Amino acid sequence: MSSFDWKGTLGKVAPWLATALGGPGAGLAVEAICKATGMEPSLENVQKMAEQGLSGDQFLALKKAEQDFQLQAQALGYQNLEAMEAIAFKDRDSARNREIQVRDNTNKILAYAITLGFFGTLSYILKFGLPQQDEAAKNVLLMLVGSLGTAWTTGVVGYYFGSSAGSDRKTDLIGRLKGNA
């Protein structure tokens, strides 16, 4: 699995859209990013786009989508990125509080299932390779890895360890505070 911080890279170009990816507005952000860059809407396509880089035209289209998204978010009452990020934090926090109050193991069971599925599928591919004769099976397996990888990164890691967006914001804030000291 790549250690490339694709959300951090996307956040440098389109911080409002990258922040929305970490919360309930993820679908809208994915749609805006993919529409602007001419891709079919999927989180996997956003990740690939961030990893592979943008053409000049895609960069300009993404900056325009970022501005439009920012205006829409502000019209809905989110005056800054911190307000957007607070929504994502509240979403994760309410799920964690539900887990504590209800005392069930649903989230843990799902986390284990997603983790086992993701790494199990990766292990299968490493051991047996991708099917070469059956293109449909190969595509299904690749789509499964992409979906499980996204679920593991954003769902399991994001839920239990927090988002990289919040970490990036804290790092920037600490850097600014040190610069002023």
∠ CA(39), CA(136), CA(26), 5° rounding? 35
The DSSP-derived string for 91-147 is HHHHHHHHHHHH---HHHHHHHHHHHHHHHHHHHHHHH---SS-HHHHHHHHHHHHH
- Residue boundaries of the structural domains of the chain: 6-180
- Burial tier of 12 (Cβ tally within 10 Å: 0-12, 13-18, 19+): exposed
Residue 70 neighbours by CB under 8 Å, 6+ apart? 16
Give residue 173's pLDDT.
47
Per-residue model confidence as pLDDT tens digits over 8-19? 677 777 887 887
Question: How much is the pTM?
Answer: 0.43
pLDDT digits (tens, 9 = 90+) for 123-181: 999 999 988 888 898 888 888 888 888 888 877 887 777 655 455 554 554 455 555 54
Report whether 122 contacts 145 (CB < 8 A).
Answer: yes
